[in-house]
């Protein structure tokens, strides 16, 4: 942590990149360089978060869209975390340079008299370190008791966190020359540094209470300067004697910080998730291996069955062929035996007839020789048949021998299958053992999950309590708004009474009749300024209100104010219309309001809203816009007179009727719009509002008739008026009774004025 006055070199010492010159590198780059050089990517993981505390709001420098990041404290362990902050894993030094350059580009800085690049926020670099380890390692720091609790190969995760803080410099406004928004920045900087000093003082004095919740900076750094951490403090001072008091207070801060004693503890966690994944992976491997063995055994069995069937088929074919051959040979043998018997019988007959046929001896001898020759041939044939039979017998023996070999192979395969079945049983038993271990792990995980669920439930209860507190605060706010609204109504009633008193003086009425062009602007900021009292107090109040509205307009902007006219909240709509009405009272704002679509939004409210307050305030805003001649034609073209006439026919509220009559009276001052006013019912509505009997409403009606008469007189002087046109203008407005008499008198006044 770097602490000191602004401009003394804190950012130079801590956050300088030194990309080209390693000797110029700051503590952030040097620390990350050392960590990367000594880490192993197989077991280690390094990630960083880069944040800034600006105007008491935690912002992400790596992702500028993430602002107002919450600070969460673990109720069980007390550990501080920042959910939502970017955590980027790094692999090399170039990646570090890139991330730090992004963070420095997004960090707030400004030019002051004491520093051309003064940091306007506290920068916090958080380095997350994680190393996977096992208890059975020689360098493990766990005690012997831990070996009794956990298995020898249980995976552990060693986690550490390094915070490098570049504090914004303390400054005095008279020396730094801060102005405007920079003063607010300096206030928040000095506030967080003061809170840090209070915490250091309390720790140095061993106070029972450490005010870490006074600032978000002290909440984030609570573990660093008062927890289980090793803390280093860099104190920077300036050489100028002009800053003697700042240098002295900085050194005293460092001396107090040296008295703080931290207790360093080692935090190790059992990586149950990794262990569960490993066991699950081993179970999957064994299951797949068992399925593979079963599939191989099945394939081998199918192949052996197929070979056995083929051997049986071939043996059956050979047997059938041999039987057929044997039958054929037996048939041939029978035929030969019958032939031999026939020959022997013929020989005996010839021998019996030898004496009788002596002359035929030679022939008989010849026949005998032939018979002998045939017998020899028959004998040779018999020998051939015998040899063939022996060959067939040999083939049968060979087939029998092959069949015996096949049977021996089948028996060996059966033995092998029994062995494989035994191995399968062993694998199933080991799988059951692993499943039991996995079941135990699941029980442990279930227990951890239940604890986590209980923690989540407690958090939900806290959230519900916060929501109930929020509802109570909202109810209080709503009651306060109602009280403010009642006060505003009371104030408006008082202002109406003042206006009635002012109207009772004939001198002011005479003076105001000469300047009856504009609309009366009431205390709420709506209406025409022609009938406002010339009292100094009221003018000061109006000028103060206009100044306030102008200030709001400059800070919020006209588009944002007009966007509020479409809000679903009725109170927001009313206040937005009031602001637009006050802005429309100034000539410089009227053109912008029309260009930005303010007139369309106001007319839409007149048409769609049913609220009397909305009608009253919106009619006042339209009346203010109608004071400008260029806006009058736009209002008429968009149906403004018709909408005002509809509002007048629906309401009995005298204030609403007064503002509607004032708006129509302003439109009567333009002779080009008289036909449109008659067509849209504007003049009829103006005269019809006499029914209210309210003095201010009748005053606005008279002002409208006067404006109309002036325009007609102007046209007469130019020789363009058609006198029958005036009765036609008011013909559709006539009713019966007292209103008819009043309208006839009004018409007579207008007609005589036009003649004059």
CA distances from 445 to 404, 406, 449, 604 (A): 60, 56, 6, 61
**Residue 301, annotated ligand binder?**
no
Distance CA 122, CA 185 (A): 11
**Residue 8, annotated ligand binder?**
yes
In the 8-state DSSP scheme, what is residue 187? H
**Residue 598, annotated ligand binder?**
no
For residues 70, 75, 77 and 83, what is the CA-based torsion angle, rounded to 10 degrees? Answer: -20
CA distances from 83 to 74, 86, 127, 267, 378 (A): 12, 9, 15, 21, 112
Distance CA 668, CA 658 (A): 15
**Residue 10, annotated ligand binder?**
yes
Distance CA 293, CA 577 (A): 82
Q: Classify residue 432 by burial, with Cβ atoms within 10 Å: 0-12, 13-18, 19+.
A: exposed
H or E, element range at 126: strand 122-134
Based on its alpha-carbon atoms, the radius of gyration of the chain, rounded to whole angstroms, reads 56
| Beta-bridge partners for 48 | 88, 127
**Residue 177, annotated ligand binder?**
no
| Residue (of 99, 106, 17, 126) closest to 61 by Cα position | 106
Strands 234-236, 2-4: pairing is parallel
Distance CA 17, CA 20 (A): 9
**Residue 78, annotated ligand binder?**
no
Q: Count other Cβ atoms within 10 Å, centred on residue 660.
A: 33
Who's near 480: CB < 8 A, 6+ residues apart? none
In the 8-state DSSP scheme, what is residue 56? T
The string of DSSP letters for 711-728 reads HHHHHHHTT---TTHHHH
Distance CA 565, CA 559 (A): 10
**Residue 7, annotated ligand binder?**
yes
The string of DSSP letters for 448-497 reads HHHHHHHHHHHHHHHHHHHHHHHHHHHHHHHHHHHHHHHHHHHHHHHHHH
| Residue (of 579, 570, 629, 657) closest to 605 by Cα position | 570
Distance CA 616, CA 593 (A): 19
**Residue 515, annotated ligand binder?**
no
| Residue (of 176, 165, 182) closest to 238 by Cα position | 176
Distance CA 658, CA 655 (A): 5
Distance CA 681, CA 636 (A): 11
Phi, psi dihedral angles at 230 (to 5 degrees):
-100, 120
Sign of the Cα pseudo-torsion (48, 54, 59, 64, in order) = negative
Helices and strands, counts by H and E, the chain:
26, 14
Are 548 and 521 contacting, i.e. CB atoms less than 8 angstroms apart?
no
| Residue (of 704, 689, 698, 603) closest to 651 by Cα position | 689
The string of DSSP letters for 649-690 reads HH---HHHHHHHHHHHHHHHT-GGGHHHHHHTTHHHHHHHGG
Who's near 657: CB < 8 A, 6+ residues apart? 648, 651, 689, 692, 694, 697
Annotated binding-site members: 4-11
Query: Annotated binding site for ATP: which residue ranges?
Result: 4-11
């Amino acid at each position: 942590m770097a602490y000191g006055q602004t401009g003394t070199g804190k950012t130079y010492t801590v956050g300088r990149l030194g990309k080209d010159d390693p000797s110029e590198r700051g503590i952030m780059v040097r620390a990350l360089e050392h960590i990367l050089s000594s880490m192993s990517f197989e077991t280690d993981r390094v990630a960083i978060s880069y944040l800034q505390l600006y105007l008491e709001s935690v912002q992400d420098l790596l992702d500028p869209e993430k602002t107002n990041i919450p600070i969460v404290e673990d109720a069980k362990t007390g550990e501080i975390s920042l959910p939502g902050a970017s955590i980027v894993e790094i692999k090399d030094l170039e990646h570090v340079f890139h991330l730090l350059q992004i963070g420095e580009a997004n960090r707030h800085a400004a030019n002051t008299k004491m520093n051309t690049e003064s940091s306007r926020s506290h920068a916090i670099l958080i380095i997350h370190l994680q190393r996977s380890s096992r208890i059975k390692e020689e360098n493990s720091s766990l005690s012997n008791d831990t070996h009794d609790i956990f298995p020898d190969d249980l995976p552990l995760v060693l986690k550490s966190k390094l915070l490098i803080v570049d504090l914004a410099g303390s400054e005095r406004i008279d020396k730094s020359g801060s102005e405007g928004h920079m003063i607010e920045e300096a206030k928040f900087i000095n506030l967080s540094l003061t809170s840090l000093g209070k915490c250091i003082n309390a720790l140095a004095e061993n106070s029972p209470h450490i005010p870490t919740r006074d600032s978000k900076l002290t909440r984030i750094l609570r573990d660093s300067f008062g927890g289980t951490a090793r803390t280093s403090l860099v104190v920077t001072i300036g050489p100028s004697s002009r800053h003697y008091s700042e240098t002295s207070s900085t050194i005293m801060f460092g001396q107090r910080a040296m008295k703080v004693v931290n207790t360093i503890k080692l935090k190790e966690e059992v990586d149950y998730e990794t262990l569960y994944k490993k066991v699950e992976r081993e179970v999957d491997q064994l299951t797949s291996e068992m399925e593979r063995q079963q599939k191989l055994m099945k394939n081998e069995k199918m192949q052996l069955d197929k070979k056995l069937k083929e051997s049986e088929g071939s043996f059956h074919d050979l047997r059938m062929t041999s039987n057929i051959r044997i039958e054929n040979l037996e048939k041939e043998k029978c035929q030969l035996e019958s032939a031999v018997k026939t020959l022997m019988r013929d020989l005996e007959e010839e021998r019996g007839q030898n004496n009788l046929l002596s002359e035929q001896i030679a022939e008989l001898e010849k026949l005998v020789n032939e018979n002998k020759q045939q017998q020899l041939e028959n004998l040779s044939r018999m020998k051939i048949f015998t040899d063939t039979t022996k060959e067939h017998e040999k083939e049968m023996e060979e087939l029998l021998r092959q069949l015996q070999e096949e049977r021996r192979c089948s028996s060996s395969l059966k033995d092998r299958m029994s062995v494989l079945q035994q191995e399968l049983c062993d694998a199933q038993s080991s799988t059951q053992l692993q499943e039991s271990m996995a079941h135990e792990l699941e029980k442990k995980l279930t227990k951890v999950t239940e604890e986590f669920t209980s923690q989540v439930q407690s958090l939900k209860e806290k959230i519900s309590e916060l929501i109930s507190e929020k509802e109570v605060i909202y109810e209080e706010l709503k009651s306060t708004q109602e009280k403010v609204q009642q006060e505003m109504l009371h104030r408006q009633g008082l202002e109406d009474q003042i206006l009635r008193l002012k109207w009772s003086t004939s001198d002011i009425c005479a003076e105001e009749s000469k300047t009856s062009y504009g609309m009366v602007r009431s205390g709420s900021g709506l209406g025409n300024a022609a009938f406002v009292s010339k009292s100094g107090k009221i003018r000061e109040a109006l000028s103060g209100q206009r100044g306030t509205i102008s200030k709001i307009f400059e800070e919020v902007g006209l588009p944002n104010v007009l966007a509020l006219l479409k809000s679903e909240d009725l109170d927001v709509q009313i206040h937005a219309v009031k602001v637009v009405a006050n802005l429309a009272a100034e000539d410089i704002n009227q053109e912008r309001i029309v260009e930005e679509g303010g007139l369309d939004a106001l007319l839409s409210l007149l048409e769609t809203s049913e609220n009397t307050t909305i009608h009253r305030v919106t009619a006042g805003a339209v009346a203010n816009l109608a004071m400008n001649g260029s806006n009058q034609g736009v209002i008429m073209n968009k149906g403004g007179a018709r909408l005002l006439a509809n509002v007048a026919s629906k309401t009995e509220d005298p204030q609403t009727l007064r503002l509607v009559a004032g708006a129509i009276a302003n439109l009567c001052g333009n002779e080009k719009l008289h036909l449109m006013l008659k067509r849209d019912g504007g003049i009829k509505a103006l005269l019809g509002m006499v029914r209210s009997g309210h003095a201010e409403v009748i005053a606005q009606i008279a002002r409208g008739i006067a404006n109309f008469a002036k325009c007609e007189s102007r046209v007469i002087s130019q020789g363009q008026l058609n006198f029958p046109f005036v009765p036609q203008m008011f013909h559709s407005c006539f009713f019966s009774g007292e209103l008819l008499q009043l309208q006839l008198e009004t018409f007579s006044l207008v007609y005589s004025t036009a003649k004059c």
